[in-house]
Structure 1
Amino acid sequence: MDAGKIVCGCKKVTYGDLQAAIAKGAKSFEEVQSATKVSTGCKKCTDHVKSIVSDLLAR
């Protein structure tokens, strides 16, 4: 996925933001959420973002 792709429209969080949070030590969806504020608005993206974070953490 392109690092610039927005995965959370409410908070304007990109795929690259998720990658960066994990690179800085986030080890769970909740830690990525705390670092990026992803899925803290309307929460419609939660399931999709949890899947992305899970895939990134498995790498």
Structure 2
Amino acid sequence: MARANNGYILELGAVMMAIALLQIECAVFAVYFAAKTAMGVWFAGSAALVRERRSAAG
């Protein structure tokens, strides 16, 4: 049976955990900026629609 190298296993596990946390952080920021972009596009489209309806009405 092979002898376990606990130090290496713990070190590699810590690196993997750090990478996983970084991925979670990047995903949160990506969702945040995607939501801000979507809201900006929606507000711009809504304002353009209101302007168009107002000019068509009179």
TM-score bucket (shorter structure): under 0.3
Larger Rg computed on CA atoms = 2
**TM, length-normalised to structure 2:** 0.27
Higher strand share: 1
**TM, length-normalised to structure 1:** 0.27
Higher relative contact order (CA 8 A, sep 6+): 1
